[in-house]
C-alpha cells in the first residue's frame, strides 16, 4: 500500500483483488472531495457495483441509490441514481484525465454530478474540461485494471468497502 501523506484526503477502497488507495484533490475540487468523504463515512459506497466498465476507457461506479449489490438490486437500474444529497456544481480544472484519475460522472448538465464517479483506465484527454477530476489512484491500479468489463457486466464487481484513511 502507498504511503499515505494526508489521511483526511485519502480514500481506501477494497476490491475483490486488493486495496486501491486514492488521493483526493480538495485544492482542485473541494466540493467533490468533500462529497466522496461524506458518502464514504456514511458507508454509502460499500457494496456498490461497477455498473459501466469499458475496456480501454474507464470503470464507473458510485450509484448509492440503485447500485448496491448487498441490498435490493437490479443491474439494469444501476447507474440511474445518486445520493439523497444535492447535485454538485462542476469544478473543472486544468488537470487532465490521465490514467488512474477519478472523474465525476454526470448527466448532460455539467452541474449534475452527485455520487457516481469513474476511474480512467488510460489517458482520456478528450474528457478534459468537461468532467471534474477530483482524485487519483496512488496504489492498486492493477486491481482497478482487473474489474470485470461490461455495460453492464453480467456479474459486476463491487466496492467491498470505501473508507477515509483517517478513519481506518
pLDDT tens for 87-113 read 999 999 999 999 999 999 999 999 999
Is residue 2 pLDDT above 80, yes or no? no
**pLDDT at residue 16, rounded to an integer:** 98
pLDDT level of residue 3 (50, 70, 90 thresholds):
confident
Contact 83, 64 (CB under 8 A): yes
Range list of β-strands (E), the chain:
10-15, 18-24, 52-54, 58-61, 101-104, 117-120, 133-139, 161-164
Cis peptide before 95 (omega within 30 of 0): no
Give the global pTM.
0.96
C-alpha cell at 121: 483506465
- In degrees and rounded to multiples of 5, residue 113 shows phi and psi of -65, 145
- Is the pLDDT score of 1 beyond 60? no
Q: What proportion of the chain, given as a percentage, has pLDDT over 90?
A: 93
Q: What structural domains and CATH numbers belong to the chain?
A: 15-160 (2.40.100.10)
| 44-58: pLDDT as tens digits | 999 999 999 999 999
Cα(22)–Cα(34) distance, integer angstroms: 14
Alpha-carbon span 114 to 98, nearest angstrom: 21
Are the C-beta atoms of residues 101 and 135 closer than 8 Å to each other? yes
As given in the structure block, the three cell numbers for residue 70 are 448487498
Amino acid at each position: 500500500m502507498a504511503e499515505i501523506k494526508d489521511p483526511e484526503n485519502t480514500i481506501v477502497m477494497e476490491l475483490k483483488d486488493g486495496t486501491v488507495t486514492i488521493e483526493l484533490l480538495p485544492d482542485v475540487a473541494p466540493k467533490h472531495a468533500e462529497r466522496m468523504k461524506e458518502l464514504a463515512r456514511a458507508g454509502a459506497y460499500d457494496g456498490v457495483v461497477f455498473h459501466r466498465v469499458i475496456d480501454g476507457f474507464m470503470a464507473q461506479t458510485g450509484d448509492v441509490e440503485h447500485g448496491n449489490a448487498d441490498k435490493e438490486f437490479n443491474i439494469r437500474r444501476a447507474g440511474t441514481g445518486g445520493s439523497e444529497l444535492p447535485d454538485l456544481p462542476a469544478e473543472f480544472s486544468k488537470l487532465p484525465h490521465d490514467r488512474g484519475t477519478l472523474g465525476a460522472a454526470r448527466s448532460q448538465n455539467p452541474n449534475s454530478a452527485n455520487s457516481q464517479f469513474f476511474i480512467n483506465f488510460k489517458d482520456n484527454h478528450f474528457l478534459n474540461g468537461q468532467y471534474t477530476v477530483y482524485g487519483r489512484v496512488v496504489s492498486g491500479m492493477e486491481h482497478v485494471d482487473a474489474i470485470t468489463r461490461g455495460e453492464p457486466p453480467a456479474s459486476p464487481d463491487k466496492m467491498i468497502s470505501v473508507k477515509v484513511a483517517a478513519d481506518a
